[in-house]
Chains A and B, each alone.
Chain A
């Protein structure tokens, strides 16, 4: 079922608990407009992954539960769904840490993404060729075992695998974690391209604030399970607080780690 509203995803005031005691999200609301890229930013443990897992309904397998609020995807509540049903509805999550099937070949990994779709062998080959146009590097390595490919290639496998499910919406959890700057740019180029050419809406959790905002339309910043700040990507990039806290730039100019240490020792002396 599809709807005519502008938002493909609408999260309203959700609270998430793990094991019935650990409160991971206090109050998170966010919207992803159809066909847009939305960045979810924050430090380790802020609740980015939890938010994504609440949306893909993968929380249940980690003893987590949405205890308050609502999540609507494509106009319908996701409350009663399970992960494979969500994939069937066109919502696919790319998990943190890539999680390729190490013993399968690159190509088998990608094909496994089509598991939920009823495709003939010919259809699969056709889809595969289309996917390879975005991930040229993977085509060269199609026969290698996934565990022996590089980190960047594994991230590409994970995204390609998700694309094979023909998603309307992708949830990307820290796709650039541990990658060299050049690869980070390459991954983001692919994500951007998928968004524009395939019309996939994207919710992107990232710690790399700068590049994430440069490649998004809108951004949310969460801290300890709460949305602290939201706005268009451009407004967040120009926001002084964001600059200072997340981009390492202060009004006085670029702040580096040594300056911070100096400042801290100065403060100590004063105290």
Chain B
């Protein structure tokens, strides 16, 4: 009995920690959804682009780890700058659907650029954190939990606290929330939309880089990262597109549920249900709670 419980705990904790990796990707989507009110289809490509550049700086130019990370982050700021200037500003008065389509195009451009610059082969990314159980936890709690998962959890926690503080207590955060609510009114009182857009896209780029590092360390830095990032879609549907806590909790739910289902129900379906189980969960949310757990309810005064 105790062994079964221990096994369940291990599955649950492993799932929750793996879920934080989804949360990290979802965070990038939420940032952009808050400011541009659009689902950024290029987020997956941004993850791929940023982490491939990071690897490229380290492996092709022998730039040290920290410096390479800073360079990659700066590169993402430049990508944000170009996106604002070349894509968003010309589409300023266009509908949200048009911007959505533009993000799909942007995704292809980034994928192409990344591969043109750094090649197409899968690269290994060594963060110096192994993807194996932490001995101390294995010995004392009898749980086998990967060090990489724990790191991802910690990084996600730091990022969410940082972003929360940024939104809630800084001037630029207030401006961002104002733009998210009503861009026209925000501009009428002098909040410069282009600065806010630039900030948000750059922040989303850096978040993409962090998420890319975590995923790259686990699965290798490769083209598949682009599709992996779309796992964030059910996370967002469950957590709510406009909520940062929602992205985190949605990620945890998806991570835990997919692992538990895989282990306990998977055998009845011949396994490998973790690929589609999250989407089934997402469909239930769409039917019964379309704004997600933490999404901003559409407020209408009567």
A84 and B185 CA atoms in complex are apart in Å by 11
Asked if B174 is at the interface (CB within 8 A of a chain A CB), the reply is yes
| Cross-chain contact of A112 among B189, B299, B301 (Cβ < 8 A) | B189
Q: Note all chain B residues with C-beta closer than 8 A to A103.
A: 177, 180-181, 296, 299
CB distance from B224 to the nearest CB of A (A): 37
CB distance from A134 to the nearest CB of B (A): 17
Q: CB within 8 Å of B: which of A90-131?
A: 92-95, 99-104, 108, 111-113, 115-116
| Stretch binding the partner chain, chosen from A57-65, A209-217, A219-227 | A57-65
Q: Note all chain B residues with C-beta closer than 8 A to A161.
A: 189
CB distance from B8 to the nearest CB of A (A): 39
Asked if A199 is at the interface (CB within 8 A of a chain B CB), the reply is no
The interface centre, meaning the residue of B92, B185, B187, B189 with most chain A CB atoms within 10 A of its CB, is B189
Whose C-beta in chain A lies nearest to the C-beta of B181? A101
CB distance from A47 to the nearest CB of B (A): 19
Are B190's CB and A116's CB within 8 A? yes
State which size class the interface on A falls in.
35 or more
CB distance from B190 to the nearest CB of A (A): 3
A63 and B175 CA atoms in complex are apart in Å by 24
CB distance from A97 to the nearest CB of B (A): 9
Main secondary structure of the interface of B (DSSP, over half): helix
Asked if A165 is at the interface (CB within 8 A of a chain B CB), the reply is yes
CB distance from A254 to the nearest CB of B (A): 34
Are B190's CB and A99's CB within 8 A? no
Chain B interface residue count, CB cutoff 8 Å, equals 22
Asked if A75 is at the interface (CB within 8 A of a chain B CB), the reply is no
Asked if B74 is at the interface (CB within 8 A of a chain A CB), the reply is no
Are A58's CB and B188's CB within 8 A? yes
What does the 1/0 interface line of A55-98 toward B look like (CB < 8 Å)? 01010011100000000000000000001101110001111000
A176 and B289 CA atoms in complex are apart in Å by 37
Asked if B186 is at the interface (CB within 8 A of a chain A CB), the reply is yes
- If A115-B175, A148-B299 touch, does A83 touch B181 (CB 8 Å cutoff)? no
- If A115-B171, A115-B189 touch, does A99 touch B182 (CB 8 Å cutoff)? yes
Are A113's CB and B189's CB within 8 A? yes
Are B177's CB and A104's CB within 8 A? yes
| Cross-chain contact of B190 among A63, A95, A101, A165 (Cβ < 8 A) | A165
Asked if A190 is at the interface (CB within 8 A of a chain B CB), the reply is no
Q: Note all chain B residues with C-beta closer than 8 A to A83.
A: 187-188, 190
Are A61's CB and B177's CB within 8 A? no
Are B93's CB and A61's CB within 8 A? yes
Query: Which residues of B are in contact with A by a Cβ distance under 8 Å?
Result: 92-93, 171, 174-175, 177-178, 180-182, 184-192, 296, 299, 301
8 interchain pairs (CB within 8 A)?
Answer: A61-B93, A83-B187, A84-B190, A94-B188, A102-B181, A104-B178, A104-B181, A151-B301
Given contacts A58-B188, A103-B177, A148-B301, 11 further A-B contacts (CB under 8 A): A83-B187, A92-B190, A94-B188, A95-B185, A102-B182, A104-B174, A111-B174, A115-B171, A115-B178, A147-B301, A162-B189
